[in-house]
Amino acid sequence: MSIAMNPGTAPTARAQDHSSMTDSSVTPIKVLIAEDDENARSLITDLLTTLGHTIVAEVSTGRDAFERAKDVAPDVVLLDVHMPDGSGIEAAELITQSIPGVAVVLFSGDQTLTLTDRDVAATAAIAFLPKPAPPRVLDSTIRLAATRAKELLAARKDAESAKQALENRKTIERAKGILMRRTGSSEQEAYRILQRTSQDRSVPMVEIAKAVLASEPTAEAKSKT
């Protein structure tokens, strides 16, 4: 997709003016650029490099964006919405679903383009930029997108950990009930049995609890006795 760029706003024409924006104390963002126009891709690469970012891959199709993202693990994928092998939306969706923690920033030179609610939800795109975007806007968007993606990934992991912890507690409670019934012990005593066995065998208590559950005869087996 060929995009005519205004010489007055072209990244290479202004790169020197923004060289002072590079701060060695700021961690570079690893960026994968997916843009089918070679000239535009080169200009964006030069600008982002000048701004202190690391370009880990440059591709010209949505399919390549997805495949390369799996290999190079970028912080951000800067992805043109219009790609020759299909919509960049589809590539963004694949990246979001398959590579957790990677931020997708969509961009387009089509000033009339708008994203549907379905597009926004499916791609989880953190930003949508016009092309060309002012250097400061591009820089701040990429940095914020990388930070936001890491926050979302951490929140997702926390939620999964909380869910697993709840499931583990339920398993232990069920195992305690079985031990109480089998041994006539109190709830506290049943817990201590699980705890001591866990320590003696150097395995998590939930694994001991699962073994107790597995040893419990099934309803079918009980009916045959």
Domain 11-156 identical in fold to domain 161-224: no
3-state secondary structure the chain: CCCCCCCCCCHHHHCHHHHHHCCCCCCCCEEEEECCCHHHHHHHHHHHHHCCCEEEEEECCHHHHHHHHHHHCCCEEEEECEECCEEHHHHHHHHHHHCCCCEEEEEECCCCCCCCHHHHHHHCCCEEEECCCCHHHHHHHHHHHHHHHHHHHHHHHHHHHHHHHHHHHHHHHHHHHHHHHHHCCCHHHHHHHHHHHHHHHCCCHHHHHHHHHHHCCCHHHHHHC
In words, the CATH class of domain 161-224 is mainly alpha
Domain ranges of the chain: 11-156, 161-224
Is residue 224 scored above 80 in pLDDT?
Answer: no
Is residue 45 scored above 90 in pLDDT?
Answer: yes
Is residue 101 scored above 80 in pLDDT?
Answer: yes
Is residue 11 scored above 60 in pLDDT?
Answer: no
- Reported as a pLDDT band with limits 50, 70 and 90, residue 20 is very low
Interval 64-97: pLDDT, tens = 999 999 999 899 999 888 877 767 888 888 888 8
Q: Would you state the CATH architecture of domain 11-156?
A: 3-Layer(aba) Sandwich (3.40)
Is residue 108 scored above 70 in pLDDT?
Answer: yes
